[in-house]
Amino acid sequence: MKRYMQNIHRVVSYVPGDQPNFPDMVKLNTNENPYSPAPGVQEALRQSEVEQIRLYPDPTAHELNAAIAKAYHVDESQVFTGVGSDDVLAMIFQTFFRADLPILFPDITYAFYPVWCDLFRIPYAVQPLNDQLEIVPEDYTRENGGIIFPNPNAPTGAELPQSAIAYILEQNPESLVVVDEAYVDFGAQSALPLLERYENLLVVQTFSKSRSLAGERIGFAIGAPELIRALHDVKFSFNSYTMNCSALAAGTASVRDWAYLEKTTEKIITTRERCKQVFSKLGFRFPDSKSNFLFVTHPEVDAHALFEALREVHIFVRWFNAPRVRDYLRITIGTDAQMDQLFDFLRDYLGKKRG
């Protein structure tokens, strides 16, 4: 083998998540929004001029950042945007988690946290959720080089109350605490108001879920200007132009339409609450989700077998081959019609099992 092949960066080979594409499918596997983005988004994309596309995009994302700042009642100097919240989070890991102390996050959580730790050589220590699959705030008081957790947590959907987040911030004045709020718009309470009291807080959100813009890749962080400045410095030091002009235009139009966000998230919340009742009646159990998905388990059902059976009929959900959660399925909240199609199948499936 040539030397250049011996020396390549070896990683665990990863096959991107199943992105099936059947006309009749019910796609409940990647927490996408079943409703369209705000009407202004399509309009903004249609109006984007070729004159704009031939030029480099604005590296500072000024228009989008200003629109986000206005919508969230913060200053533009408190906003950092990136190519999806994955890009924003990776930049945060790279910029801030550089102490020789382990960073802390839950054992059951977003799968990319340990990946970025390995990539950037950051030590970490996972903190187990309790038996109800909840974060235990007291676990986050040991010495650490930083703290990160999603709220609501993924893939459980469970919300950590704002008082518990305040407690973690209070106990860790020397650490940066990152609250990853990818799913916060579906009824959970944002940590943003805590920014007034805690300078060591960074809140990360995304346009991929509540704003129906997964295809455009837009995420953002809000925090103290000195934190945001450090993120910009690192970003600009090695890649100036990342968000393209379509993402900037789509994101700006989206964030300006708060009423549409409320309307569509309300619809999903209503469907979710109805689904909780149906799942319960069918014998499923789940943490009380405040997100756009439910993390369900059933005492009589093998989760992986059900996952496969659903796939057969083109209903796609998510199963994680990981300790503690092998008996669960993560199911995105789709439209009422999609969920009814799922429930019809489940009634039949459970009936056959029992019969």
Query: 235 or 298, CB closer to a copy of itself?
Result: 235
Query: 91 or 310, CB closer to a copy of itself?
Result: 91
**Nearest-angstrom CA–CA distance, 349 and 346:** 5
Query: 7 or 277, CB closer to a copy of itself?
Result: 7
Q: In angstroms, what is the minimal distance from the CB of 57 to a copy of itself?
A: 5
Q: In angstroms, what is the minimal distance from the CB of 21 to a copy of itself?
A: 9
Query: 115 or 125, CB closer to a copy of itself?
Result: 115
Cα angle: 91, vertex 96, 100; to 5 degrees: 130
**Burial category of 111 from C-beta neighbours within 10 Å (exposed 0-12, middle 13-18, buried 19 and up):** exposed
Q: In angstroms, what is the minimal distance from the CB of 247 to a copy of itself?
A: 6
Q: How many helical (H) and strand (E) elements, i.e. helices and strands, does the chain have?
A: 12, 11
Judge contact between 81 and 249, C-beta under 8 A.
no
Q: In angstroms, what is the minimal distance from the CB of 78 to a copy of itself?
A: 16
Task: Please tell me whether residue 318 adopts helix, strand or coil conformation.
Answer: strand
Strand-pairing partners, residue 105, are 126
Task: Please tell me whether residue 348 adopts helix, strand or coil conformation.
Answer: helix
Token readout for 18 is 């199943």
Residue 121: CB atoms within 10 A of its CB come to 8
Query: 1 or 354, CB closer to a copy of itself?
Result: 1
Query: 11 or 351, CB closer to a copy of itself?
Result: 11
Q: In angstroms, what is the minimal distance from the CB of 81 to a copy of itself?
A: 13
Q: In angstroms, what is the minimal distance from the CB of 88 to a copy of itself?
A: 11
Query: 189 or 244, CB closer to a copy of itself?
Result: 244
Q: In angstroms, what is the minimal distance from the CB of 246 to a copy of itself?
A: 3
Token readout for 149 is 């957790």
**Nearest-angstrom CA–CA distance, 279 and 343:** 8
Strand pairing report for 201-206 and 177-180: parallel
